[in-house]
Chains A and B, each alone.
Chain A
């Protein structure tokens, strides 16, 4: 059984008998002991001829030991959920320490799983990745795109094609990790943004989950006016925040026919704009409406500039009635009775409301496992990726983190199939749109700045949309993407 697992994960790598090393050392010690009676013996041609076969044998034997022991390597893995002090750290690290010796004998992992924050990991990898460490990297999609542009990650098409599990992965998640026709990562974790809402409050006021942006603004304002201390809608609007961007881009995909704001032009080999100033302004108008339409407005003006922690906490503490959200929110039920009651008994999940004439689309998050181009042991790195993207590990991770499985066989497990929360998000996976393979760093800053200009009344949505379009267009022209 162990052998079959070894073959399965290691793809034909043979393991030499490392314990023989000591025996070899003993033999070598005897052989090289000088002949004190006649020291010239060692150099005489006759003796050399006699000893040649033995020398050859020992040379080969030593080489085989060297090759064998060289596989007993310590790989360096950067894996944020195993490094960060969150609910996943304990179970995941325990699983790895218990199962890795059985699944990948001869391979050990450095106990330090890298920086605990994706942004830090990304910066450090860009600076030091060319040294060959870490061998395997867990990342977010935006990070993977930067690594690919920097030539830091290796394509894995041929290895993935040979893997028996390849058909288990949901095609949209594989597509998201494919850049210029090459696959760079294996997904182990995915999710989409949906509308999480307080169904008890909606029932109380006889309304249903909003299906259009107009309804969203109207319902949010209604709840703000009726419920003391509760904002109808919670949004993340902090400057430069990735979450602010993810919420915006989810609404934007709906306006833009489920397409990215940039499109690659094969003939000019450049990225070009794939939207209009009006479409950008339409999304910004939604922000203006939720913050300023109605008295009181749907979103609390005092929460402008909120980061994701405040958005999450506001919802689970009953301060907001709707949020565009990912599945991680469910893990907050462990933080207190109020959060547990709200999430388990009073929460509903619906697709994001649509603008007039919009397309049902949302931001697709995929977390991949990648191989460092400069890794000195890519074969074992790939073997490790297969372990971390295996059914058992993915099931454990996805259940602990409360996210959706990118593997079909994991999604079929009872703990996922019978979980209403998981199902509510999984059912929206098909509407997820992956980000284009550009450097999103500047774009995230540009978009969050445009949002802030509108919600702080420095610009109208039309002005901000036009300015944002021009900035993005210039970035594309100047090859900054």
Chain B
């Protein structure tokens, strides 16, 4: 039965003849009317300005000074000197490269394995709830605990991995894994994956559960295989959550300090040095606050670009 609508129903949208039009109301009067709304916004605005904007702006200002943590009240403006020095330092360039490599590989693999794990966790089999709960353990553990576990497992003489290798006759492979320049970076990556994949999986699983079954039913009727259903039904419906997770974890991984600092300190021979550990060392070994701030500003710019790229790539896919 067709739905009809009387034009009288729209009458409330039309201004009555002779009534003053809204756009004619002076702006101050309208502001005054809406003042209460602005008042309600004020606390949030103050918090954002005070806690986010001020430190960011001050950090950017500091990057143009030679401020030292040992004498923070006396400093000189040095222009772009800190930035020139930063880009001339080969260890900074290496740290930059490592940060990009770590972020790209960690986030990509987390999405991939997160999808696989989500697909497994969504299955309706007895006891799956227990697995879903257990899957989150690594994400719930504090990072320091995770690092201590990994360090303990990889110790040269008593570590579980090395004992296992010795037991199976591969003692020539035993080593101080975090102290080996060929494996240290890989281990840092593995720690990121071990911690975050379950979080991705739970988030993806929640989004998968919200996909209407009708879509799968329709695809099945159209003869779509399991793979096709995943590509053409599941994945498009997960775009938004993937965007959220990628943006969150690009920021988290690029900014992450704890895993590297606690496990390798950036070594061996700078094999795991990333921007946060590099900046930390400048700030706390040399007390060079201005120089360290310049590193922080570079990180900020890179992060903004990375997040914009993520939004563009995944957002573009969404509009298609």
Q: CB within 8 Å of B: which residues of A?
A: 123, 126-127, 146, 149-151, 229, 237-241, 300, 302-306, 310, 313-314, 317, 319, 439, 441-442, 444-445, 448-449, 452-453, 456, 458, 480
| A240 and B155 within 8 A (CB) | no
Is B266 located at the chain interface by the 8 A CB criterion? yes
In angstroms, Cα B156 to Cα A238, docked, is 14
For residue B184, which residues in chain A have a CB less than 8 angstroms away from its CB? 305
Q: Is B281 an interface residue (CB 8 A)?
A: yes
Closest to A146 in B: B70
Bound-state Cα–Cα, A303 to B159, Å:
12
Q: Which residues of chain B are near A448, meaning CB under 8 Å?
A: 267
Bound-state Cα–Cα, A445 to B91, Å: 12
Chain B contacts for A444, CB-based, 8 A:
285
Determine whether the beta carbon of B71 is less than 8 Å from that of A452.
Answer: no
Q: Told that A229-B157, A306-B156, A456-B181 touch, could you supply 5 new A-B pairs with CB distance under 8 A?
A: A238-B179, A240-B267, A303-B179, A305-B178, A310-B155
User: Cα distance A479–B270 when bound, in Å?
Assistant: 25
Residues of A within 8 A of B265 (CB): 238-241
Contacts of B267 in A (CB 8 A): 238-240, 305, 448-449, 452
User: A123 contacts B264, CB within 8 Å?
Assistant: no
> Which residues of B does A touch, CB under 8 Å?
69-71, 155-158, 174-176, 178-181, 184, 264-270, 281, 284-288
Most buried by B among A127, A238, A302: A302
Contact A300–B156 (Cβ < 8 Å) = yes
With A239-B266, A306-B176 as contacts: A445 and B281 at CB distance below 8 Å: yes
Q: Are B286 and A480 in contact (CB under 8 A)?
A: yes
Distance in angstroms between the alpha carbons of A452 and B179 in the assembled complex: 10
Assembled-state Cα–Cα distance A456/B180 (Å): 9
- Residue among A241, A444, A448, A456 with the highest chain B CB neighbour number at 10 A: A456
Contact A302 B71 (CB under 8 A): no
Q: How far is the CA of A126 from the CA of B72 in the complex (A)?
A: 10
For residue B271, which residue of chain A has the nearest CB? Answer: A456
CA of A127 to CA of B288 in the docked complex: distance in angstroms? 13
Whole-angstrom CA separation of A306 from B157 in the bound complex: 11
Docked-complex contact A305 and B176, CB < 8 angstroms: yes
Residues of B within 8 A of A239 (CB): 264-270
A305 and B268 within 8 A (CB):
yes
Contact partners of A313 in chain B: CB under 8 A: 158
Which of chain A's residues have a CB closer than 8 A to the CB of B70?
A: 126, 146, 149-150, 439
Minimal Cβ-Cβ distance residue in A for B69: A126
Q: How far, in whole Å, are A470 and B184 apart by their CA atoms in the complex?
A: 28
Q: Is the CB of B287 within 8 A of A126?
A: yes
Beta-carbon contact of A317 and B268 below 8 Å: no
* Shortest CB distance A373–B (Å): 13
Instruction: Tell me which residues across on chain A come within 8 A of B158, comparing CB atoms.
Output: 313, 317
B179 near A319 with CB under 8 A, answer no
Known contacts: A238-B267, A240-B281, A310-B155. The answer to whether A302 contacts B175 by CB under 8 A is yes
Do the beta carbons of B286 and A452 come within 8 Å of each other? no
Tell me the nearest residue of chain A to B174, going by C-beta: A302
A123 in contact with B284 (CB, 8 Å): yes
Contact between B179 and A317, CB atoms less than 8 A apart: no
Chain B residues within 8 Å of A449, by CB: 267, 269-270
Q: Determine whether the beta carbon of B157 is less than 8 Å from that of A304.
A: no
Q: Is the CB of A304 within 8 A of B287?
A: no
A residues within 8 A CB of B286? 439, 441-442, 480
> Chain A residues near B284 (CB, 8 Å)?
123, 441
B150 to chain A, nearest CB (A): 14
A238 to B284, CA, bound (A): 18
Among residues of B, the one whose C-beta sits closest to the C-beta of A147 is: B70
State the CA gap A306–B178 with chains docked (Å). Answer: 9
